[in-house]
Structure 1
């Protein structure tokens, strides 16, 4: 066996091991956590009819959202996503805790919603219409051919 053949075999093995390690690490599960929702133990510190809105915000921090226009409420939300390799992340857990207050900003109700309780709600749809209406690029080019003036194209006046 010559020296170059031995070096090629070693290099092939190193590349093979590197590809194997890269392939197996690409399939590793990655957990991602977003947001904050108080746990059930944390919620025991909130007394219905006694705890104020300011107390809740001081205890749990700024809320994710406040329902100031329709209801006097604050919302805390957290989500857990699992991501495997090149696949899209999948949401496996969602917790939304809603604190509702009366007109004096005293806690009236506390509710917890999970991923199983929820449904997708489009709050605002901002889409700019392109006006093309499912016409392909080739269809647009062929449609433009009929609008060419032969006299202008050939230079005749």
Structure 2
């Protein structure tokens, strides 16, 4: 006796093909999303001034303004507070996924104060600690005066001075 030959149309119903395509499309979409999120996860970058390793140790009190420029380079901004002050501003930021907004991790302002003779009289490395501006060199929190009035707006992006952070 001759057995009937099964054709494709008998084994693959239209309902079966539709379910298979849905499954493949869902798997492809999940793989695409995972690849997009996984490829950009944990991106970190630095904006502004990049402090060379050991640079601050090369600038003793009494060093000339020219020596500072050789070691540190051009400042981000300059101010006059009982002599000139060079400010070097930097920010480290991250974002978990490429299309999300940046989140600031750390912000620093290195300030180099000069006397009337253009010699270094003070170094400061300002950052935030417990929501307040803190000098990581002298290990103190500046409390008042022109110095704080000029440095505080540089940290505005981190909401300093707006309540208890």
Q: In the comparison of the two structures, how many residue pairs are matched? A: 121
Counterpart CA distance in 1 for 2:28 and 2:127 is 42
Q: CA deviation at 1:120?
A: 5.8
> What is the rounded CA distance, in whole Å, between the counterparts of 2:65 and 2:107 in structure 1?
23
Q: Tell me the equivalent position of 1:26.
A: 37
Q: CA deviation at 1:88?
A: 2.7
- 88-97 or 39-48, larger mean C-alpha shift: 39-48
Equivalent residue, structure 1, for 2:112? 99
**TM-score calculated relative to the size of structure 2:** 0.59
In structure 2, the gaps of 5 or more residues are: 1-10, 134-150, 155-165
Structure 1 stretches lacking a partner, 5+ long: 123-157
Closer/same/farther in 2, CA of residues 88 and 111 from structure 1, 3 Å limit: same
Q: Which has the higher contact order (CA 8 A, sep 6+)?
A: 1
What are the residue-to-residue correspondences of 1:1-157 with 2, within 5 Å? 1-2=11-12, 9=20, 12-13=23-24, 15-24=25-34, 25-26=36-37, 28-38=41-51, 41-49=54-62, 51-68=63-80, 71-85=83-97, 86-116=99-129, 117-118=132-133, 121=153
1:8 Cα deviation from its structure 2 partner: 7.2
Q: Which runs of 4+ in 1 moved over 4 A?
A: 3-8
Give the secondary-structure state (helix, strand or coil) at the position aligned to 1:56. Answer: helix
What do residues 59-91 of structure 1 show as CA deviations (whole Å, max 9, x unaligned)?
Answer: 211111111477510011211111123543211
Q: CA deviation at 1:16?
A: 2.9
